Chain A
Amino acid sequence: MVRQRLTSPRFHLLLLVGAVALGGCVGAYQPAPGERPPVVDPSGPPLAEPIPAPPPGPLPAPAETRPAPVQNNAEAPTLALLQQSQRAADGGDLAGAIAYVERAIRLNSRDAALWLRLAGLQLQAERPATAEQLAQKAIALAGNRDDQKRQGWLLVADAREAQGDAAAAERIRERWRTFRG
């Protein structure tokens, strides 16, 4: 709970720091400080309402990044675990790949990228219902990372399709088609 003026520059800065802290360790997309949050949160049961236009491009770097005092900083180990997960998946060991990502989630459980990865693996493992929920989790954690939201929704679409709801899948894909992450 933040008990200060919303208009204060400090709050603004905090928000930026939060956004940076939330930007996971995976993917080339860098968190965009000051990026405008979507006006309509596209999560929740889709899908009749219009989709927010994803925001454009380059943004200034954050002035300062200050980690919270007792928070873990688990980016490097998370990356290592994702690599191990990838190797396991490449070798056909999906269960192992899932176990590595779950280990990463234990270290860094608010990183949407990890939940996206887990959703993808569960989809590969032919558990689309689980995958769909994991993708929803990723979307909820993505904050203002529209690239992650898009990935999440596309996973939801795939999961819906795998569960026999091709129409819903197509609607979701249509909504996110124009977006570039």
Chain B
Amino acid sequence: MAERRRGRRRRSRKPARGLRRLLRTLALAGLVLGTLLGVAVAGYLFYLDRTITSTFEGRRWSVPAVIYAQPLELYPGAALNLAQITRELDRLGYEPMGSVASPGTYKRTDQRLQVHLRAFRFMERNRASQRVELTFDGGRISELRDRTGRPVPLVRLDPLIIGSFFPSHGEDRLVLTPEQIPDLLRETLKAVEDQNFDEHAGFDVTGILRAAWVNARAGEIQQGGSTITQQLVKSYFLDNRQTVERKLREIAMAVILEARFDKTDILDAYINEIYLGQDGQRAVHGFGLGAQYYFNRPLEELSVDEIATLIAVIRGPSFYNPFRHRERVLARRDLVLDKMLDGSLIDESVHERAHAMPLKVVRGTRTGGAYHPAFMDLVRKELGEGYPEEALTSEGLRIFTTLQPDAQDAVERALADTLTRLERTRDLEPDSLQGAVVVSANQTGEVLAVAGGRSAGFDGFNRALNARRPIGSLVKPVVYLAALERGYNLASSVNDAPIYLEQPTGTWSPRNFDNEFHGPVPLVRGLGDSLNLATVALGLELGVDAVADRLGELTGSPPGNRFPSLLLGAEPMTPLQVATLYGTFASGGFYMPPKAVVAVLNETGVPISRHSLDLEQRIAPEVAQSLGRGLEAVMLMGTGTTSRFARAGTAGKTGTSDDFRDSWFAGYDDAHLSVVWVGKDDNSPTGLTGSSGAMKVWDEIMTHLGVRPLQHPPEDHLQTVEYSTGLLADAGCAEVVTVRLPDDAALRSKPGCGINLRSLGERVRSWLGND
């Protein structure tokens, strides 16, 4: 019995003991698991906390670098007319109004312009907003006064934003400080997106229920249940996939954010972060950039209806795209306006007026944030190694550049229009021609405009910087320069006669464009008419190496070709390199590396680098003047005579490569140097010469820019010679050009011209009245 009992007990105890053990094991396991889970959850929460906190802190002021164009300088005496200035004001988003009560407005009357300038933090100092009045007379500003009528010597418009260096994932934004955010925006956002924002702890059950109810009744998604905080979290991690895990994580992060930061900070972060649209590759984030993108104005200048429009877009920037779905956006904007009224954020009359407003979004690549990718490449190149990607995309740098929006527009339009016209008039396939242009300021080398192709806003292959094409006759001035430096002058004679040269590749016998031989010609004509044989003869006299070395010194990179074909431009260069070469000619002999950046300021406005004017004399001034006279002769007498501006005080050189594959022109007046290339991307012939192709583009550019005739510093040693012979002559009896000759140049005069055979020195002295 005892056995049995024991046995029974044992039997009964056995399972009991097993159960206990099981329970104990389970409990232990549970404890371990629970602890593990707890640790895991805690770890996960810790991880979430770290992630969201650092993202929030990091993103708050992480701003892509903003790039500014050159500000337009206004002063009495400036050759700027009313139309040019209003065009710039329109680009900047200034509004034409009946009165100029607030910054960002202007009023135009007959020959008068009132402008209420915006405040702007310039490179040197801050400029407060101010009112000025301009009067015009004869195509220039005649008076500039402040609001009290006092004359002002000069004032700048704020510079146009021409882009930003947003990170590779495409987010761009302009961060607003809390003071720049209107209360109306904050309050309306809460009313529309998150009614319980001020109370909830990151997520909002009533909000979710309300949204569910509304959506169920409507049978479609009309309201989102996400709080502003949740939307902010979602926006940080750029993920729209709706899974339970993600939703939970989003809620957890939202709760953490709420626990760690102020409501206002969160709301302001949201205002700077929320996705508002897509501009090509660039994602428009935040109301600062949103205002620029849709209205081309700073947020603080937006009216009630415009703020409502931006808020309307949040719900679905593609569904509510104001450029595409105007009616839809208008309807939602009015809904937002109603919410403003309901929340007593605006009064009845404001509501009524705003309601009556049309949708005022402005479209166009030429508005704020307009992109000039070709110029931006140059900026990037110039900033180079000094600025790692990270610094450019997140540190809020402000980069001031040399771009002149008016010149840039002129260049883009001139190139596109002229190529289209050339294709039409010359029976070429539409869109088969390509082109590139660089325009710079003669004396400073600052690049004012760049076109990398015929569709300017398109961020594709940048021919201005990267297309290396044979420069053809554009090389010739270097040959003549080397000759002038060797003691030749423009009236010196060179023989334009057949040339046969034994080369490793066979006999090289260049020809003239007209297949003729012109015999002895003065240098000025060899250059002016771009005579191949005369130029090769001259180059061979000097030595190909000498010319190659000189070209290398003037461009900063030695040519690869050191054979006689170099003398005719069988050497590829980019339009930007050609601009450097001709910049040295146009500046009177000073080499200037192309310059696009003036200064880089950090986010607090402190300059962290300045790119001062830099140049180096590489041609003696008197030689540069001589060569300049030769390039003027190109326009007056040579291959440039068909230009609209041949006789307007300009200088230049045409260039055509073999089989008409490349059409080049480099030309300048007193202010602007332009280099134009026209050709095809597949390098097939276009049938265009330098003057029938690229020079036409230049004509168009100069028509827009306005020609400023070349001003000569007082020069001595000048003489007029007959263009075709180099004989002394005057305008009364021959086609003459003015050249610079050394004192001892013994020239014959053209028979029958009635010029006394006096030495040039005597002539110069008598001309100066110092006999």
Q: State the A residues within 8 Å of B (CB).
A: 1-7, 12, 15, 18-19, 21-22, 34, 36-37, 39, 41, 43-44, 68-77, 79-81, 84, 88, 95-96, 98-100, 102-103, 105-107, 109-110, 118, 122, 130, 133-134, 136-137, 139-144
Contacts and interface: CB of A to CB of B under 8 A. Distances in A.
A68 B709 contact: yes
B770 A36 contact: yes
**Most B Cβ at <10 Å: residue of A7, A72, A105:** A72
Contacts of B607: 95
B316 interface: no
Interface residues of B, number: 68
B316 to A, nearest CB: 46
Interface of B: 70, 73, 75-79, 123-124, 139-140, 153-154, 441-444, 446, 588-590, 598-599, 607, 610, 612-617, 620-622, 624, 629, 632-633, 635-636, 649, 670-671, 706-709, 711-716, 718-720, 730-732, 736-738, 763, 766-770
Given A70-B79, A76-B153, A141 B73 contact: no
A106 B441 CA distance: 8
A5 B721 CA distance: 11
Contact of A109 (B123, B442, B707, B712): B442
Contact of B610 (A80, A98, A106, A130): A98
A178 to B, nearest CB: 21
Contacts of A5: 720, 730-732
Tell me whether chain A's interface is mostly helix, strand or loop, or mixed: helix
Contact of A6 (B73, B154, B622, B718): B718
B645 to A, nearest CB: 12
Nearest to B769: A34
Contacts of B612: 98, 102, 122, 130
A99 B123 contact: yes
Given A2-B738, A110-B670, A136-B590, 9 more contacts: A18-B714, A44-B622, A76-B154, A77-B153, A81-B154, A109-B442, A133-B615, A133-B616, A133-B617
B616 to A, nearest CB: 5
Nearest to B588: A140
Contact of A71 (B79, B441, B614, B622): B79
A22 B670 CA distance: 13
Nearest to A97: B124
A23 to B, nearest CB: 11
Contacts of A80: 153-154
Contact of B708 (A34, A68, A79, A99): A68
5 contacts: A12-B767, A84-B124, A96-B124, A137-B617, A140-B621
A109 B441 contact: yes
Contacts of B712: 2, 18
A107 B75 contact: yes
A70 B79 CA distance: 6
Q: Which 9 pairs across A and B sit closest by C-beta, in order of nearness?
A: A73-B77, A109-B443, A77-B154, A143-B713, A80-B153, A77-B75, A1-B632, A140-B621, A44-B620
Contacts of A130: 612, 614
Given A3-B731, A77-B75, A95-B607, A134 B613 contact: yes
A12 B620 CA distance: 26
B711 A21 contact: yes
B78 A37 contact: no
B711 A110 contact: yes
Contacts of A43: 620-621
Nearest to B138: A69
Contact of A41 (B124, B616, B621, B670): B621
Contacts of A68: 708-709, 711
A36 B716 CA distance: 9
Which of A12, A19, A137 has the most chain B CB atoms inside 10 A of its CB? A137
Residue from the set B441, B590, B633, B713 with the largest chain A CB neighbour count within 10 Å? B713
A44 B77 contact: no
A109 B139 CA distance: 21
Contact of A105 (B79, B444, B620): B444
Given A3-B731, A34-B769, A106-B446, A76 B620 contact: no
Nearest to B614: A130
A95 B610 contact: yes
A7 B764 CA distance: 9
A3 B711 contact: no
A163 to B, nearest CB: 14
B73 A107 contact: yes
A4 B731 contact: yes
